[in-house]
């Protein structure tokens, strides 16, 4: 961190340091130069978001977030733009991982990124009017703007190439999603993704209508499989910003449910991967093994999913001694059955033929796009937020991070299978070492204009939450970056050169979490034209 500060001091307007963060303020004209220096110092891009300060100073502030994994430090690069015509150079040439985040800032705040390679809409729907940016403060959360037909933001295939749409409803994917494969015969030559059709505006709702203690229950609904990670990340961010120290027992309970969630999420993925290649016996067995995890969560919290136990200041429930005994029995049974399941997978020649050397992501490309979770670890990147930026009870727990360097679907499968067994080991340590004491502390008024970053190692990878506290009993800005948001962007690399038959498996191998979508594409063979049907047109069919 000291070396970064020394190299940037001449081009930075101001540098601030805290225990965990290096905050660099710079002029917009210097953004590319600073980004290059950060990359040279092995800073890893995490996310980019904006904050509306138009009322206060007629500016929109851009915040670029980086992490220094080895130093366990964050770098926040801040620059301010004139709100009348906010514009700045794109840094996508230096950091390809920023492409989606720049597109999102363009949609939601109206910031133009000069030189962006793909300035199409990302988040806003096709019928959203131009010039209206929903995350600006002058846009009310309950406003419904008039519809305005916009050009469809779809890639046009080259002459002689064919478009094959996958989704939005596809039997082997657990949620609706819309992928477009551009193919030459059986080979995929390009890829496009159009999502966010039912973007729920959760960040806007939190900043406009809910208080600090209501938002955890909203945050938990960001993901239908791994919601606890979001409520936990949000609470940690507010607790850091407000300097709230939660009880040690609450930290252990949070880690317990984070690992239970990892167990059932990975087992769900193993089943779906088997289903994609037609091994439905393995699919059913994996989901059968998963069920007791759901039962034990329901016994303790009252819910199989969406537990609703996180609040700013701790958790709302306690774990009784009989619950710990039940968890021990459940994980012992799962450990035995997962080891048997793993042997079946390792011995199955058909699975190996379908999984090996498919969807290869090499180490260099994985670093370039800043992928995370099992996708990164299967390409040799040693990154796990439980170790790199430990939180909750993880500083007191011992475990290893599984790695593989092959970078294919098979490697991602092996990493997840190993992580299941490691989660069982972590849960045993929690059961043995969970301390007595309170599960929450009372939270008084939270001072405004404090900011904090929170990481969670979700089952899919590095989850990022940023909070700036506000004066009205709610965050002034809350920004979320789910792991799938980053991992989606690497699909264009993983799919190129693959066969059409492997596409569902390659897409599924990142364990994607999609927005639901209500549209689909029809390709007219006679007219050689593409038609995307709207929700209204589908109602009238």
Binding residue numbers for Mg(2+): 203, 480
Output the known binding site. 203, 223, 226, 480, 513, 516
Q: Which of 244, 246, 243 is nearest to 435 (CA)?
A: 246
Q: At what angle do helices 321-347 and 280-301 cross, to 10 degrees?
A: 170
Distance of alpha carbon 446 from alpha carbon 72, whole angstroms:
26
- Report the Cα–Cα distance between both ends of the chain, in Å, rounded: 60
CA 276, 280, 282, 285 torsion-angle sign: positive
CA 60 distance to own-chain centroid:
24
Query: 455: which 2 tokens?
Result: 């990481």
Strands 475-481 and 521-524: unpaired
CA 462, 230, 239, 210 torsion-angle sign: positive
**Backbone phi and psi for residue 200, each to the nearest 5 degrees, phi listed first:** -95, 0
Query: 414: which 2 tokens?
Result: 């092996």
Are the C-beta atoms of residues 209 and 141 closer than 8 Å to each other?
yes
Distance of alpha carbon 417 from alpha carbon 214, whole angstroms:
36
Output the known binding site for Fe cation. 226, 516
Strands 314-315 and 310-311: antiparallel
Q: At what angle do helices 321-347 and 409-433 cross, to 10 degrees?
A: 160
Distance of alpha carbon 404 from alpha carbon 351, whole angstroms:
18
Query: 466: which 2 tokens?
Result: 């940023």
Output the known binding site for Ni(2+). 223, 226, 513
Opening angle at CA 486, ends 240 and 483, nearest 5: 50
Strands 529-532 and 521-524: antiparallel
Distance of alpha carbon 52 from alpha carbon 478, whole angstroms:
12
Q: Which of 6, 7, 23 is nearest to 15 (CA)?
A: 23
Distance of alpha carbon 301 from alpha carbon 177, whole angstroms:
31
Distance of alpha carbon 333 from alpha carbon 128, whole angstroms:
51
Residue with tokens 């962006």: 116
Q: Which of 508, 497, 232, 279 is nearest to 374 (CA)?
A: 508
Q: DSSP characters for 51-67?
A: EEEHHHHSEEEEEEEEE
Residue with tokens 């953004």: 31
**Backbone phi and psi for residue 472, each to the nearest 5 degrees, phi listed first:** -110, 25
Strands 73-82 and 14-17: unpaired
């Amino acid at each position: 961190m000291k070396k970064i500060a020394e190299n940037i001091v001449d081009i930075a307007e101001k540098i601030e340091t805290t225990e965990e963060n290096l905050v660099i303020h710079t002029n917009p004209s210097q953004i590319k130069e600073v980004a290059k220096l950060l990359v040279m110092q092995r800073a890893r891009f995490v996310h980019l978001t904006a904050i509306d300060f138009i009322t206060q100073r007629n500016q929109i502030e851009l915040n670029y977030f980086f992490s220094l994994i080895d130093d366990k430090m964050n770098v926040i690069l801040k620059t301010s733009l004139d709100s009348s015509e906010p514009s700045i150079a794109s840094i996508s040439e230096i950091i390809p991982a920023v492409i989606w985040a720049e597109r999102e800032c363009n949609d939601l705040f109206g910031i133009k990124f000069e030189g962006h390679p793909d300035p199409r809409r990302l988040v806003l729907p096709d019928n959203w009017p131009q010039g209206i940016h929903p995350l600006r403060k002058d846009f009310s959360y309950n406003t419904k703007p008039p519809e305005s037909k916009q050009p469809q933001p779809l890639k046009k295939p080259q002459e002689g190439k064919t478009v094959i749409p996958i989704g939005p409803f596809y039997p082997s994917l657990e949620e609706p999603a819309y992928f477009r494969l551009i193919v030459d015969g059986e080979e995929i030559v390009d890829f496009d993704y159009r999502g966010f059709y039912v973007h729920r505006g959760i960040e806007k709702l939190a900043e406009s209508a809910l208080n600090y203690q209501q938002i955890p229950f909203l945050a938990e609904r960001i993901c239908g499989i791994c919601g606890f990670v979001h409520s936990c990340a949000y609470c940690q961010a507010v607790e850091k910003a407000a300097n709230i120290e939660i009880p040690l027992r609450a930290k252990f309970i949070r880690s317990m449910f984070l690992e239970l969630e990892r167990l059932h999420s990975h087992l769900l993925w193993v089943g779906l991967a088997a289903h994609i290649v037609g091994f439905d016996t393995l699919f059913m067995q994996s989901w059968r093994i998963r069920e007791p995890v759901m039962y034990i969560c329901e016994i303790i919290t009252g819910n199989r999913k969406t537990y609703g136990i996180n609040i700013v200041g701790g958790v709302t429930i306690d774990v009784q001694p009989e619950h710990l005994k039940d968890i021990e029995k459940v994980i012992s049974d799962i450990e035995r059955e997962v080891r048997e399941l793993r042997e079946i997978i390792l011995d199955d020649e058909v699975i190996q033929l379908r999984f090996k050397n498919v969807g290869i992501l090499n180490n260099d490309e994985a670093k370039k796009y800043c992928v995370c979770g099992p996708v990164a670890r299967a390409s040799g990147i040693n990154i796990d937020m439980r170790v790199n930026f430990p939180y909750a009870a993880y500083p007191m727990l011992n475990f290893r991070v599984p790695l593989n360097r092959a970078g294919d679907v098979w490697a991602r499968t092996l990493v997840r299978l190993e992580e299941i067994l490691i989660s069982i080991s972590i849960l045993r340590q929690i059961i043995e070492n969970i301390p007595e004491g309170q599960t929450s502390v009372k939270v008084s008024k939270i001072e405004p204009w404090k900011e904090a970053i929170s990481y969670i190692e979700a089952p899919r990878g590095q989850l990022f939450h940023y909070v700036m506290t506000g004066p009205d009993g709610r965050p002034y800005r809350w920004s979320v970056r789910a792991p799938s948001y980053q991992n989606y962007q690497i699909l264009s690399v993983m799919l190129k050169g693959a066969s059409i038959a492997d596409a569902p498996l390659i897409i599924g191998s990142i364990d994607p979490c999609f927005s639901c979508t209500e549209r689909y594409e029809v390709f007219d063979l006679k007219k050689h034209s593409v038609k995307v049907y709207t929700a209204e047109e589908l109602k009238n069919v």
